[in-house]
């Protein structure tokens, strides 16, 4: 299970942002927020999330509108400037890098534990 509240707090600290931030499922699945439609009312949630790995290209269409091309060739209209989407991509990349570093650290810990277990088994064999 994923604690999205804790995740959001962690990512907000990493990016030094309090607004809408990316979220992740694992190191390979980082989702970035993009404005998917115009607001209908005040405080209307207009953001959707795009998998960073699938986002291939972002082209400006108008002042506050761009079009994204995703991995399957589908085009998505985004109601933000291209610069805003690129900044969101950069933030998503920073999250991905943070997660990759954590995976490396966990792998090292797992390797150390594995070596300790092997050592203890060998020690037991010697004592027997």
CA distances to 17, 55, 117 from 109, rounded to whole Å, are 31, 33, 12
Residue 48: φ, ψ to 5°: -125, 175
Integer Cα distance of 36 and 45 in angstroms: 10
Question: Which position has the higher pLDDT, 110 or 126?
Answer: 126
Tell me the C-alpha to C-alpha distance, in Å, between residue 88 and each of 33, 35, 69, 80, 84. Answer: 7, 11, 15, 11, 6
pLDDT tens digits, 92-119: 999 999 888 776 666 667 777 777 888 8
pLDDT computed for residue 21 by the predictor: 94
- pLDDT digit string, tens, across residues 20-53: 999 999 888 999 999 999 889 988 889 999 999 9
Distance, CA of 46 to CA of 37 (rounded, Å): 6
Query: Rounded distance, CA 46 to CA 35, Å?
Result: 6
Quote the pLDDT of residue 90: 95
């Amino acid at each position: 299970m994923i604690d999205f509240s804790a995740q959001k707090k962690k990512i907000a600290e990493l990016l030094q942002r309090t607004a809408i931030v990316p979220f992740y499922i694992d190191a390979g699945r980082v989702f970035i927020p993009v404005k998917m439609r115009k607001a209908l009312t005040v405080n209307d949630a207009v953001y959707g999330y795009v998998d960073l790995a699938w986002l291939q290209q972002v082209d400006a269409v108008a002042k506050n509108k761009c079009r994204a091309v995703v991995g399957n060739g589908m085009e998505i209209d985004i109601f933000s400037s291209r610069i805003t989407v690129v900044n969101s991509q950069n933030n998503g990349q920073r999250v991905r890098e943070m997660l990759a570093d954590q995976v490396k650290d966990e792998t090292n810990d797992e390797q150390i534990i594995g070596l300790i277990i092997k050592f203890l088994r060998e020690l037991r064999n010697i004592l027997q």
